[in-house]
Each structure stands twice: as C-alpha cells, then as structure tokens.
Amino acid sequence: MGIKTLFILVLLTVGVYSDLNEDFSPVHYCFVNPPVKTRLSPNLLENITSCTHLVYGRIPIDRDNGYPEYSVSDVESGYDIDNIRTFLRMKSQHPHAKFLMGVERTTPFEDTLHAGKVANGLKKHAKSKRFDGIFVTLNGIHLEYRSSTTFLETISKEKSLILTFGITGRRVFAHEAVRRLQEINSLVEHIYLDMGELPSNEEPSKITQINPLFSNTSIPFEETIQGTVEELSKEGILPSRIVVGLTAGGWKYEIKDSQDPLRISHGMFAKEAGKRVAYQDACKARGAVIYDWKSMNEITVYRQSWMSVNLPTMSAMGEKIKWILGQNFAGVGISDALTDDPRGDCGTDPFPAHRLAMDLIRDTIPANPAKCTRLCYLDPEEVDETFPIDNLKSDYCSHIVVHYFDLDLKNTVVFSEKAVKLVKKIDQWKNKIIDVAPDLILSLGSKQITGVWQFILANDFRRKELAEELVKTLNTSTAAGLEISWTLEPMANEFDKKNLKALIDDIVLADVEKKVDLLVATTPLSSYSNFYDYQHLNETADLIVLHSHRLHSESLPMTGHPSPLRATSSMRDSKMTWEALLNHWTDQKVLRSKLVLSLTASTLSMQSLADVRNSLSDPFGQPAFVSLLRSKNSDIHSQQEICESLEAATGITHWVDVAEVPYLRRYDQMVAYENTRSAHIKAVWASMEGVGGLALHNIQQDDPNAVCNNRTSFPLLDSLSRAQVCQKCLKQHDFKKCEQHDFIVSCNFELKKNTPLFKTDIVPYERCTEVVVEQAKLVLGGNITFKDSQQEQVLKNLTAMRPKMLKCGMVLSLSCGDSEKHLNYILGDNMTAAIDNVMNVMDKYKFSGVQLDCEKAIRRGNHIFFNTFVRKLAKKIENAKASNGCNRTLSARFSHFTRAPSTYYSISLLNRLSHISIRMTDKDQVDLPFFFNSSDPLFPSTEKFVNLWKNVGLKSEKLVVEVSPFGWQDGQKEGEKRRMSQLDNCETVGNKAIFQHDYETLTGYTTHQNTTVHMPMIEDFRYKIGYIQREQLGGIALNSVNGDDYTGICGRGSFPILKSIYSSNNCR
C-alpha cells in the first residue's frame, strides 16, 4: 500500500470529475434586426449585460449557393452603412457573448445534395464575416423532409461555428416537425422556440394573443408556452436544450364593425390581417385596458382596435420569464431590441423587456433540491463581502450552517455584526431559489472554550434563559434550526455531559411550536470519553454532527491528516479515523440515519522534522515541529492555494492508499487536505455505511471562484453531491398481482448449460418483476429461432413452470443479428411476418413481453425501418394480454456503444415502451467503472452514459441500469481478463478472502497467486441501487442470474446478489 505521486496534468485537486459538470446559468438571446437603410448604433445594447448570444438580422438565404442576401445597410454599400461590422464591434461591450448571424430560408431544398451545397455556402460567408455562429430559421415546410437535417448537419461539422436552430410555435405541431427536431437536437447548441407565431397565425386575420403562457377558455393548450414546451419534452427534447423566445410588443387587429371589442377573444377572426406592433407604439395606445391572468398579457381595446401586448413588468412578462427559468429551460430570448422601446419613449428606461429579463436572470439560480442531507458550514469571520455565494448551486447543500451565536459571560448569548450580514446575504441567495432553497441552521458556541460553557450551563436559571432566548431569536428569523456546538475544546467530565443534556431539554421545552430542528455537534475526544448521553441524543437530536474533520491537530508533535478514512500502520492513534469514529457511535446504538460525518475544505499545515523523501511510505506519525510563535502567513489554507502551488511547481502531491487521502509536500512543509477524489471516496463509503448525511466545513475555502479549472466552483461540494446517495429501503413487489412497478428488477436468465447444473425450477422469479430469457434471434423471412435444441428444451422447462410464476413477467430477449444488411432484408420485405412471428412465439412459450436487443444491426441505413418495426410491434402488443392476465410489455436494450442515440432511434417512441435497459458491460460481460477512472477520465463509465441517455430526452423513469454479477481475474498479458462468476470467485479465492473496495469502479479486489481478482460486492450493488433511486431511474437489471451464486457455495445462501436488492441494514 504505497504512496502514488499524482502528475500535475491529472491533478484531482483540479477535479477529474468536472467532465460531467455544465454551466447551468440561463442563457439570454438578444436580437438586433435593423430595418433597411437604418444605421445601427454601436452602443445599442451597451447596458444590457446579460446577453449571452447576440443575433444579427434575419437575412434570407434562398439562393442555391447559400450566399446570404444582404440588404444595402447590412454590408458596406452606397449608403455608407455597414451594420454587420457595427454589430460585431459590440464584442468589446459583450466580451463573453456569442455573436450569431441570423438567417432564414423559405424556399424548400430540392434534395439532400442541394441542402449540403447551401449549407457550405452559408458556412463560408459566416466565417468570412467573423461571426461566432449561425442562428437558422426555416420558414416553411422544410421539416417535412430530411434534407433540413442534412442542411444543419453540414453546418454543425464546422466546429468553429456554433449553431442554433429557431422554430416558431406555429411550426412545432406541423407534419414530421418533432421527428426532425429529434434528429436536429444533437447537432445544435440550442433549439430556440419563438412563441411570437402560433398555429393560429396560419390564418393572418385570426386574432392571436402574444406569447400566451397558460391556456384559458379561448386559448388551446397547444398554443401556449406551457403546451408547446410540454409537447417537445414529451417527444424527447429536454427543457435544458430549449430557449423560449418572447416578443417585445404585441399583435394589433382591426375588428369588424359588428364585433364588440370587449368580447373579442383568441381565435376569432378580425376584419383584416393582424400587424405586429412595437412596444414603443403599443405603450402610447389609447383605450380600455384589460389584464388576462392566464396569458399574462395586457389587452387594449379602443373603438374597433384590439391589441394584445407583452407588458414588460414583473406581473406580466416577468411572470412568464420566472416560469421559464423555474422550469430549468436553457434560457430566454427577447426579440427584438429595436421593438423594445430603445429610446425610452414610454417614460421608462430604454429596453424595458430586456432589462426585465436581465434582472430576473441575474436573480435566478436554477432550483434543484439537494437529494441527500449535506451540511455546508460558513464562518462569518472568514467570509468577506466578495464571497460569490451565487456560484453555490442549490442542490449542493440541504442545510447551510452559520456560526451565529456566541456565549457571553455577561449577556449569556450575543451575535456579531458579521454574522448578521452573512445571514442576510444567505437569505438573499435563498430568495433566488425559492421553494427548494437549503435550510438555514444557526450554530451556537463553536468558538467558546469549555470554561465558558461550564460557567453558563451550570446555572439553571441562565441555562433556561439561554434556551428561551435562542428559540425566540430563531422563531423571528428565517432559520429552520439550531446547532449546539460545544466543540472548540472537548468536554471535561460527567457534569458537562449532564449540563449539555439539560440544555437540550430546555431548548426542546422552549420550542413550544416544535418548529426548531435541533443539531448537536460532537468532538472525537468527547466521544471516546463517552461524555455524550447517546440514548438521549437518539431521542432528541434531529442530526448528530461528528467532527470527523478534526482527527488531527497542528498542536500535535507528529504529522497526520484531519480526516483519514482508515488508519495506516504508522499512525499513533488508530481511533482517529472516520471508520473508527463511526463504529464507536454505532456501537452505542445511535441510529445511523442521525449521524453526519464531516470533512473540511481548509488545510492543515505541519512542519515535518523527518526527511519527507524518506517517509513517503509512512507519511503519518512522523515527528513534527510545534511552535505557537511560528508564522502561518506563508501556509496554504485553501483549495485554490493548493492548485496555485501545484501550478507553480512549488509543491508535489501524494496519495495515501489506506487512509484514502492526499497531502502536499512543499519544502519542509506537509499540507494535509481533501481533494475531489478523497471527497468522492468518503461520500461513497459513507453512503455504503448508511450514515444520515455529510458535512463540509469552511466551504469558503472550496475554490468558490473556480480558480483551479475556471469551470467548477466548490469542487469538493460538487464531488460530494455526485457521489453521495441516501438509500431508501426498497419494498419487495408483490408478484401475485399485476401492477405498474415503481422500481423494475429485471433478471436476465441465459438459455445455456451451466456447471454445476442450474435447474430452471430455482429461477428466483419471486425476487424479479420480470425474468428476461436470453436469447432468440430474428432471421430471414421474419422467423424466430433459438441457438440449438438444448436451449429450446430449457425454455420448455421454463414454460412448464410458468403457472408458478403467477404475475411475474417472463420476457423474451430477441436479437436482430449483427448485420445491417441482414436486418434490412427482414424488415424491408418481411416486417409483417416478423411481427406476427413475435406474437406467435409469445403465445407458444407464454411470454408476457419482448425485449429487443438489436443495437448491433442498427445503422443509418435502416434505423427508420427499425423505428417503424418498433412502432407497429408496440401497437400490436398494446392490445394484447399475457397468459397470466397482465398487460404485455415491450422494452429495448442498448449498450454504451450507442454514443448518439437520437441519431438512430426515435426517443419519443422509446419513451412509450415499458423501459429501456442500458447494458454497462465490456466485452467480457464485466461492468464498466461506475464513475470516472481517475487515471483515465475519458474511459467510459456508467455515470457518463446514464447522463448521455437522459440528456437526449429519455425519461428517467424509463431508464433501467443493467449491472453484472461477474468479476475477473487479471491474466498474464496486460489488459487480459478471465471472467469469473460469483461462484467461480468463491471456489478460487475461498469464502474468507478479504476484498478491498475500489470506490470509483465500485468493485472489490484481492490478491491471489500473484494476480488480482476483481469482484462486484454486495455493498457495491446496494450503492448502485441507492444511485438509481436518487436519480429517479426506472430500476435495475441483473444481466445474468446465472452469474450469481445460485448454489449458495459462498456461504450466504443462494442468489445473494439478487436478494441484497431488498435486504439492507443501512437503508431507511
């Protein structure tokens, strides 16, 4: 167990896990479309600082060569106006924005070759004008044809240009539009949904509300922002890909003389075609004003004029923008700047709609609740006014704990001005998140010595007064709870234990309304001295915070780490580890669900007296120099300073295997700290142990400004939030009932001869929502065959026991072969026969469903055939019942080799299937690493491909993660693996072999006969279930029950992996 030196290029301090991080800040599209012969002001949007994308014009590209048809004022001409050049000069005012050329095509493409030619011509011009990208609108029936996809695909190949596709609400519901959008989705940065035109606008004289948010009696659901985005989301276009476009101004109609303007509603016909009106003109209109609370629009009627206006106020357009941002769409757009009162004619500041969007984007943090208990600690004395709290994602913390109350010998309790200011800052941040904001916890006494605690708590009157004052202050604040933190120094005796218990009782008694959450912080020394009333804390405290980040101190004359996971051989006190401290508390019968383990973002600097080069194998427990006079100014204190030291090559970082922590060696200094890898390991370990939560202290030291990689603020919190799971006990389904299962447990059974014999009557169907039988094959003529007669005999045995399985599903896994050509013959000529044969096989062998395993045969040349086959088969299955009386099911199975699912499959169609099983195994049927491999961040992982499928629009509840019971033994050659089942493993290494955990790959490993044996452990499977539950996925698939220990030879009974899904002492 040595020390591994980490190369600077892959420093985990910088965060190897940041590959999955994205910037979720909302985007703001701003449009500039100057009329012909109008000179564009170079300072037009100077004060609108939120624009992330600026789009110039709506330039026609109807020529066959794709060259834009510029107006005389777009480029330099006889009018001495070059608006494009002026527009691009705005980059100095918006240095971080992307400048796009806005183009529009109305003429359909002749074919895909023509589409490619137009795209190449357009790319050439966009690059020559030095645009950052292109904003494309196809105004016509283009989406009915695949040539539109070819057009955008050709542009997307130019990596120096970003691409946004604009579509109006009017076109979303057109023929084939959604299918094209599914194909386009992966080619563009965003899909811009312009709600300025709706299906009603097909009839120019039909009266239409402008950008209606919700439906009412006259506005159909599909003509609202809500209805249109729901249609896209249902078809697999995720909200995170959609920018919702709003309109500055509105629609104006002249109505018939026979019509009463006060009774006009959306969908009626006017006397003539409607006209788009700019806000600077709309605000001056006379007449009666009506506010529509459903569409969020202002209606102005005057004589026979009727006008619907997007009023740029918080209660009108502001409600639309807040709804859009609250639904976690990619962002919002306003079109366009020149119709948004650019001169301030309406009596307010210019660009009121843009300013409103800017203010709301600035004051909005994407609202995602923390999925597990995670406490984030801030110290007011160390947090200055520049602390970028807006960089803190809403799901990083479930609670924010602030040191607030100080014990005072004279006044009992006081709080500082800095603490008040910090709480105010946190409240402002929480207001931007609203419903899912973390709870605020105010901490008491973390900076008071034991003597002060003893003096106040020993006096019954002062203690009760303290409790009442605390509860009174909490009830008049925004805080949800109180932390009692007697932690600066350990408690000294049994009287301290008694007085702490009395304070807790006094607080509980004073909290008459039971509104205060009570947290109690504990120190390691007081814990090991048993100065806590464990049973009392079990009954009264909501959470017990173990200070497992203070297991070593700079005052000790030896080197160490503040939070080692386990003890190394050289450590002087083996109790000062996470593992030992947790075991101590659980041995005292304290509920795991109440315990919170701590780590810190700050560092611990020590001056080693030993030669650090000679102590690499045993860095802890070495002599260290201790002096109260030593200056700490030159010490490293934070994550960002660690990064700066490594980049400047003044320090070298090392990894300690057993303790699972890093340290930095700089001159004669040893700096102990946490990095993203150690935080990840602790989060996985704590999750496996079933603790109630985690706490990160001093988050102000967790690189809040993303200095380390210019990308991820709070990298330790990010690592914790990704790796921590909170397992909920999984209730076993009732296999005696037909029901929709909240959590799918799919068990794959291989039709093959096993040694020792796997009798079909021991298939553990009662533990499975479905048994997937592998595998039949679709062959020429649409026929279905099995590999040999032996497989058919096994299947017949299964069929004979079908009545015993009751309502448990029995599903046929159906392969389409390995050849694209092979599948083309089948689906091109025999699709109907193939569907009929599938139904016949289901009837013959009493299958309740089919799982299509056709990925290897799907290519660009036949994916349309396949999608049609799935659609027709789904319709046939939908109307049939299985032999057990339950509904039949159709699912599909894919692997990590599918890197662009939306290119080959209809995501909306997949979302209508029973579920989609994602196989996460390599060629040896062994699971991929679950998380990123620290030494090879590009290596495929389960986490990466789950996110990939979710990002293309597959609904989370449809996604089933397939896991393998197989492990492997390293072969003689590098990279060679010998696959091993759970049974093989026990026969090879024995039942008593001790396995170490790899918390990144989620496997165990042990040495055997000069090689290493790797096996997934029961704890790994339970953790994966917790991850699946946290991400609200559809369930889990065991890719081979044959690979589990079906004989019970390992000493844990038969099928221990499968049975562990429902049995865990650490779930809650």
Query: With bands split at pLDDT 50, 70 and 90, how would you rate the model's confidence at 511?
Result: very high
In this predicted structure, what is the pLDDT of residue 616? 60
Query: Do 554 and 415 share a structural domain?
Result: yes
Closest CA to 964 of 1040, 883, 1028, 1060: 1040
Rounded to whole angstroms, how far apart are CA atoms 979 and 1014? 10
Mean pLDDT of 238-253: 93
Closest CA to 593 of 687, 719, 697: 687
In this predicted structure, what is the pLDDT of residue 1? 39
Our CA angle for 655, 659, 663, nearest 5°, is 35
Rounded to whole angstroms, how far apart are CA atoms 401 and 147? 56
Query: Do 748 and 719 share a structural domain?
Result: no
CA distances from 312 to 280, 339, 423, 473, 962 (A): 11, 12, 32, 40, 50
Query: With bands split at pLDDT 50, 70 and 90, how would you rate the model's confidence at 934?
Result: low
Query: Do 753 and 702 share a structural domain?
Result: no
- Residue-averaged pLDDT of the chain: 90
Helix (H, G, I), strand (E, B) or coil at 235: coil
Mean pLDDT of 167-192: 89
Is the pLDDT at 997 greater than 80? The verdict is: yes
Residue 418 CA to its chain's centroid (Å): 34
In this predicted structure, what is the pLDDT of residue 7? 32
Mean pLDDT of 155-171: 94
850 bridge partner residues: 812, 890
In this predicted structure, what is the pLDDT of residue 18? 35
Closest CA to 191 of 232, 222, 225, 227: 232
Q: Specify if 255 maps to a domain.
A: no
Query: With bands split at pLDDT 50, 70 and 90, how would you rate the model's confidence at 629?
Result: low
Q: What is the 3-state secondary structure (H, E, C) of 395-462?
A: CCCCEEEEEEEEEECCCEEEECHHHHHHHHHHHHHHHHHHHHCCEEEEEECCCCCHHHHHHHHCCHHH
Token pair of 383 as six digits: 């947090």
Rounded to whole angstroms, how far apart are CA atoms 191 and 184? 9
Token pair of 401 as six digits: 């704990």
Is the pLDDT at 480 greater than 50? The verdict is: yes
Judged by average pLDDT, the poorest of 15-29, 31-45, 55-69, 252-266 is 15-29
Query: Do 1054 and 916 share a structural domain?
Result: yes
Judged by average pLDDT, the poorest of 472-481, 536-545, 696-705, 822-831 is 822-831
In this predicted structure, what is the pLDDT of residue 977? 84
Token pair of 370 as six digits: 């923390």
Rounded to whole angstroms, how far apart are CA atoms 511 and 917? 50
Query: Do 825 and 688 share a structural domain?
Result: no
Rounded to whole angstroms, how far apart are CA atoms 196 and 526? 66
In this predicted structure, what is the pLDDT of residue 217? 85
Query: With bands split at pLDDT 50, 70 and 90, how would you rate the model's confidence at 851?
Result: very high
| Each residue's pLDDT tens digit, 689-743 | 999 999 999 999 999 999 887 678 999 999 999 999 998 888 888 888 888 888 9
Token pair of 768 as six digits: 């499975």
In this predicted structure, what is the pLDDT of residue 935? 54
For residue 439, the tally of other CB atoms under 10 A from its CB is 17
- The two beta strands, 967-970 and 1011-1015, are antiparallel
For residue 655, the tally of other CB atoms under 10 A from its CB is 19
Is the pLDDT at 16 greater than 60? The verdict is: no
Phi first, then psi: what are they for 43, rounded to 5°? -105, 20
- Sign of the alpha-carbon dihedral angle for 271, 276, 280, 283: positive
In this predicted structure, what is the pLDDT of residue 2? 45
Query: Do 785 and 696 share a structural domain?
Result: no
| Each residue's pLDDT tens digit, 82-93 | 999 999 999 999
Is the pLDDT at 758 greater than 90? The verdict is: no
Query: With bands split at pLDDT 50, 70 and 90, how would you rate the model's confidence at 235?
Result: confident
Rounded to whole angstroms, how far apart are CA atoms 506 and 945? 52
Q: Specify if 629 maps to a domain.
A: no
In this predicted structure, what is the pLDDT of residue 183? 84
In this predicted structure, what is the pLDDT of residue 862? 82
Cβ atoms 169, 194 nearer than 8 A: yes
Query: Do 814 and 683 share a structural domain?
Result: no
Query: Do 684 and 590 share a structural domain?
Result: yes
Is the pLDDT at 334 greater than 90? The verdict is: yes
Closest CA to 135 of 199, 59, 83, 73: 59
Helix (H, G, I), strand (E, B) or coil at 586: helix
In this predicted structure, what is the pLDDT of residue 466? 97
Q: How many domains does the chain have?
A: 3
CA distances from 534 to 487, 538, 583, 1065 (A): 17, 6, 13, 20
Mean pLDDT of 478-497: 97
Query: With bands split at pLDDT 50, 70 and 90, how would you rate the model's confidence at 754?
Result: low
Judged by average pLDDT, the poorest of 251-265, 630-644, 665-679, 987-1001 is 630-644
Q: Specify if 426 maps to a domain.
A: yes
Q: What is the 3-state secondary structure (H, E, C) of 670-701?
A: EEECCCHHHHHHHHHHHHHHCCCEEEEECHHH
Q: Specify if 958 maps to a domain.
A: yes
The model carries a pTM of 0.85
Closest CA to 771 of 739, 813, 815, 734: 813
Cβ atoms 271, 256 nearer than 8 A: yes
Q: Is 254 a catalytic residue?
A: no
Query: Do 901 and 780 share a structural domain?
Result: yes
Say which of 223, 235, 660, 855 is annotated catalytic. Answer: 855
Is the pLDDT at 211 greater than 90? The verdict is: yes
- Looking up residue 830, the CATH number of its domain turns out to be 3.20.20.80
Query: With bands split at pLDDT 50, 70 and 90, how would you rate the model's confidence at 938?
Result: low
Mean pLDDT of 171-193: 89
535 bridge partner residues: none
Is the pLDDT at 937 greater than 70? The verdict is: no
Query: Do 847 and 716 share a structural domain?
Result: no
Closest CA to 350 of 48, 655, 787: 48
Q: Specify if 618 maps to a domain.
A: no
Give me the residue label for tokens 């386990």: 566
H or E segment and range at residue 1007: strand 1003-1008
In this predicted structure, what is the pLDDT of residue 1017? 92
In this predicted structure, what is the pLDDT of residue 376? 98
Q: Specify if 346 maps to a domain.
A: no
CA distances from 256 to 270, 277, 286, 350, 698 (A): 6, 19, 19, 35, 69
Cβ atoms 814, 767 nearer than 8 A: no
Q: Which of 19-33, 437-451, 874-888 has the highest mean pLDDT?
A: 437-451
Is the pLDDT at 378 greater than 80? The verdict is: yes
Range of the domain at 989: 744-1060
Query: Do 161 and 64 share a structural domain?
Result: yes
Mean pLDDT of 771-781: 91
Domain boundary among 159, 194, 229: 194
Contacts of 512 (CB under 8 A, 6+ apart): none
Rounded to whole angstroms, how far apart are CA atoms 952 and 237? 7
In this predicted structure, what is the pLDDT of residue 687? 96
For residue 468, the tally of other CB atoms under 10 A from its CB is 15
Rounded to whole angstroms, how far apart are CA atoms 197 and 193? 10
In this predicted structure, what is the pLDDT of residue 290? 86
- Sign of the alpha-carbon dihedral angle for 840, 843, 847, 850: positive
Is the pLDDT at 681 greater than 80? The verdict is: yes
Q: Specify if 879 maps to a domain.
A: yes
Of all residues in the chain, what percent carry a pLDDT higher than 90?
A: 62
Domain boundary among 168, 194, 220: 194
Query: Do 178 and 36 share a structural domain?
Result: yes
Is the pLDDT at 166 greater than 90? The verdict is: yes
Mean pLDDT of 275-300: 88
| Each residue's pLDDT tens digit, 106-133 | 999 999 999 999 999 999 999 999 999 9
Token pair of 1031 as six digits: 């991400």
In this predicted structure, what is the pLDDT of residue 261? 82
Query: With bands split at pLDDT 50, 70 and 90, how would you rate the model's confidence at 317?
Result: very high
* ω into 775 cis (within 30 of 0): yes
Give me the residue label for tokens 């506005």: 219
For residue 690, the tally of other CB atoms under 10 A from its CB is 20
Rounded to whole angstroms, how far apart are CA atoms 673 and 664? 8
Domain boundary among 690, 723, 756: 723
Query: With bands split at pLDDT 50, 70 and 90, how would you rate the model's confidence at 828?
Result: confident
Q: Specify if 298 maps to a domain.
A: no
Contacts of 179 (CB under 8 A, 6+ apart): 906
